């Protein structure tokens, strides 16, 4: 089980390929606030709902100085299909080795339909302008999470 991040922890650095295969680094966003969210699989109902919610609220989040990056173990090709099918505007990156998912505490044991399984733990980490964790939310719900996050951030 990977360790969960706490407010004040340094956000683990990453460089991962986006839906076009271009590298995206947390360092590219230095000096800006970033919402990094982790989801199990593109093109599934819950993950689609969550990605669409982030896309629908992107102008509000960007206006408050936040950028949004979604991370999953899916291939860049699958992320490209997901983005095109759902007209997503958030940056989606691929972590097939699950190294970043683990570094952020978003991969490990979870309960799914009453069974304990190992997989992606739906999580959201807000990183501040200094590259530190402002808040880390684990086992979030796909539906309603973005609205709750916006309320919690006072936007």
Distance between CA 44 and CA 88 in Å, rounded? 14
Superfamily of domain 15-152: Glutaredoxin (3.40.30.10)
User: Which residues belong to the active site?
Assistant: 47
Enclosing H/E stretch for 115: strand 115-120
Distance of CA 115 to the CA centre of its chain: 24
pLDDT tens digit sequence for 124-141: 999 999 999 999 999 999
Distance between CA 137 and CA 119 in Å, rounded? 16
pLDDT tens digit sequence for 12-67: 999 999 999 999 999 999 999 999 999 999 999 999 999 999 999 999 999 999 99
Q: Could you state, in order of their start, the residue ranges of all structural domains in the chain?
A: 15-152
């Amino acid at each position: 089980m990977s360790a969960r991040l706490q407010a004040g922890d340094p956000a683990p650095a990453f460089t991962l390929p986006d839906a076009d295969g271009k590298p995206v680094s947390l360092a590219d966003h230095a000096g800006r606030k970033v919402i990094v969210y982790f989801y199990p699989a593109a093109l599934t109902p819950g993950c689609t709902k969550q990605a669409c919610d982030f896309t629908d609220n992107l102008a509000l989040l960007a206006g408050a100085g936040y950028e949004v990056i979604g991370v999953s173990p899916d291939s860049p090709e699958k992320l490209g299909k997901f983005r095109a099918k759902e007209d997503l505007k958030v940056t989606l990156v691929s972590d097939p080795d699950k190294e970043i998912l683990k570094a952020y505490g978003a991969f490990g044991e979870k309960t799914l339909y009453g069974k304990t399984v190992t997989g992606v733990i739906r999580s959201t980490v807000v990183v501040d302008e200094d590259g530190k964790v402002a808040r880390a939310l684990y086992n979030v719900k796909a539906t309603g999470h973005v609205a709750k996050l916006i309320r919690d951030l006072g936007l």
